Amino acid sequence: MMTHETSFFRDKAPFETLARLIPDLLARRGVMKQLVIWSAACSTGQEPYSLAMLLHERFFSLLSSWRVRIIASDLSQIALGRAREGIYSELETARGLSPAMKTKYFRPLQGRWSVAQNCRGLIEFRQLNLTQPWPTMPACDFILLRNVLLYFDVPTRMAVLERMRRTLRPDGALFLGGAETMLGMDIGYERKIGTGCSYYVPLKR
Ligand SMILES: C[S@@+](CC[C@H](N)C(=O)[O-])C[C@H]1O[C@@H](n2cnc3c(N)ncnc32)[C@H](O)[C@@H]1O
């Protein structure tokens, strides 16, 4: 059964790995000054807001003159509605956020917590079914495709991963969920070891 289970900075390691990959990528994009990250099954929004907080926390001054886009998509209009709203309960914010991060990036709103504008402004929400033809996507530097592949059969997984490879820039990277793998699938990625997790880069052909 499909769930919308998610949390802020879920599994931590992919966010730590991203933070380690970003400086080199920014150096390579120094002329273009564009960074595109796609959260491809964003559920109720905690994943893309975590990305926005990470960029603000660690790369704020470096990125001030850049065009930064976080594209957040999901199949479910209900989940996307909550993601766009960006308002979370005490319990939801307690899952993954330190009190300091909560105070810095959220505003209290009638007993709940509303994401601050500096994070909202980076994110574009859109409905997208990964198993149907996609609208044109911009070339992405990083794609997070986490905890959704496990709901698809193997041929569908392979088709989605193949399209993700064509959407990634040649020096970009793809992150899967902790229990997801490309083991046994020959679809043009190389597995790399990050900080406590794996990630995948397109094979040079
Ligand atoms: C378990 S959540 C994962 C959320 C987030 N990526 C994370 O790891 O915390 C799975 C999400 O995948 C979405 N989903 C399921 N099938 C999909 C499809 N065909 N296309 C796009 N999203 C889909 C669901 O609506 C749900 O929000």
Q: Is 3 in the pocket of ligand 1 (CB under 6 A)?
A: yes
Q: Is 76 in the pocket of ligand 1 (CB under 6 A)?
A: yes
Residue 102 and residue 46: Cα distance in Å, rounded? 12
CATH class of 13-202: alpha beta
Residue 157 and residue 119: Cα distance in Å, rounded? 31
Query: For residue 72, what pLDDT band results from cuts at 50, 70 and 90?
Result: very high
Domain ranges of the chain: 13-202
pLDDT in tens, 74-126: 999 999 999 999 999 999 999 999 999 999 999 999 999 999 999 999 999 99
Strands 198-202 vs 189-193: parallel, antiparallel or unpaired:
antiparallel
Ligand 1 centroid distance, CA of 76 (Å): 8
Residue 135 and residue 178: Cα distance in Å, rounded? 28
In angstroms, what is the C-alpha Rg of the chain? Answer: 16
Ligand 1 centroid distance, CA of 42 (Å): 6
Substitution candidate for ligand 1 out of 5, 8, 39, 74 with most atoms within 8 A of CB = 74
**Mean pLDDT calculated for residue range 126-147:** 96
**What number does the ligand 1 atom closest to the CA of 43 have?**
27
Substitution candidate for ligand 1 out of 148, 163, 180, 197 with most atoms within 8 A of CB = 148
**What number does the ligand 1 atom closest to the CA of 131 have?**
19
Looking at residue 59, what is its pLDDT? 96
Q: Tell me: pLDDT of 198 over 90.
A: yes
Substitution candidate for ligand 1 out of 7, 15, 51, 75 with most atoms within 8 A of CB = 75
Helix (H) / strand (E) element for 68: namely strand 67-74
Q: Is 2 in the pocket of ligand 1 (CB under 6 A)?
A: yes
Closest residue by CA, ligand 1 atom 25? 76
Residue 1 and residue 13: Cα distance in Å, rounded? 26
pLDDT in tens, 173-187: 999 999 999 988 989
